[in-house]
């Protein structure tokens, strides 16, 4: 009986793997013709983040570009990221030595020809010590003492890549 169960489980897992491979081959990994990043948090009262982190837009664009496939096809969708807030424990006013542990933004995936947004989703990343409670609606990333800024940028980029890929594959499946 146990051998039969093992055989059925093996056959099922091989079938699932084959289906997943076939779906990936048919739909492929979604590609994006452009990745735009803007930081509108400078409009927030008492935010001095752009003064302290002037390269955040470029750094985030580069991190997202590393995680999502790019395309030279102008017909492929565009990803636009608007970083709306960075803060240290909810405070947008920081000193250069503090860094930040919360970053919020909105990601939009749009048609390159019409610029009509097909979908959008929020991305909220927080880095807190293990013993501290993470605010509701945030995804926690474990910070590195050596490179706190890089952890926040990479955590945000990874979340954008994961969610954008999931949304695009779902849309491709729905259209077929």
Average pLDDT, the chain: 75
Q: What is the mean pLDDT of residues 31-55?
A: 84
| Fold classified for 31-175 | Double Stranded RNA Binding Domain (3.30.160)
pLDDT at 92: 85
pLDDT at 23: 35
Inter-residue contact 109 to 79 (CB < 8 Å):
yes
Inter-residue contact 85 to 41 (CB < 8 Å):
yes
Q: In this predicted model, which residue has the larger pLDDT, 128 or 150?
A: 150
pTM equals 0.71
Q: What is the DSSP letter of 57?
A: H
Q: What is the mean pLDDT of residues 145-170?
A: 80
pLDDT at 5: 29
Q: In this predicted model, which residue has the larger pLDDT, 77 or 133?
A: 77
Distance from C-alpha of 117 to C-alpha of 80, rounded to nearest angstrom: 9
Inter-residue contact 79 to 51 (CB < 8 Å):
no
Domain regions of the chain by residue span: 1-29, 31-175
Antiparallel, parallel or unpaired: β 34-39 and 78-87: parallel
């Amino acid at each position: 009986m146990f051998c039969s169960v093992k055989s059925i489980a093996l056959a099922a897992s091989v079938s699932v793997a084959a289906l997943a491979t076939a779906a990936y081959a048919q739909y492929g990994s979604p590609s994006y013709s452009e990745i735009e990043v803007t930081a509108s948090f400078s409009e927030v009262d008492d935010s001095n983040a752009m003064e302290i982190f002037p390269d955040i837009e470029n750094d985030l664009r580069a991190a997202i570009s590393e995680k999502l496939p790019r395309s030279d096809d102008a017909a492929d969708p565009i990803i636009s990221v608007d970083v709306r807030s960075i803060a240290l424990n909810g405070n947008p006013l920081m000193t250069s030595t503090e860094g930040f542990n919360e970053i919020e933004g909105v990601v939009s995936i749009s048609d390159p020809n019409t610029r009509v947004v097909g979908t959008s989703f929020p991305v909220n990343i927080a880095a807190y010590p293990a013993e501290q409670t993470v605010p509701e609606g945030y995804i926690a990333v474990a910070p590195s003492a050596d490179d706190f800024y890089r952890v926040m940028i990479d955590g945000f980029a990874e979340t954008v890549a994961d969610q954008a890929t999931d949304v695009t594959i779902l849309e491709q499946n729905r259209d077929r």
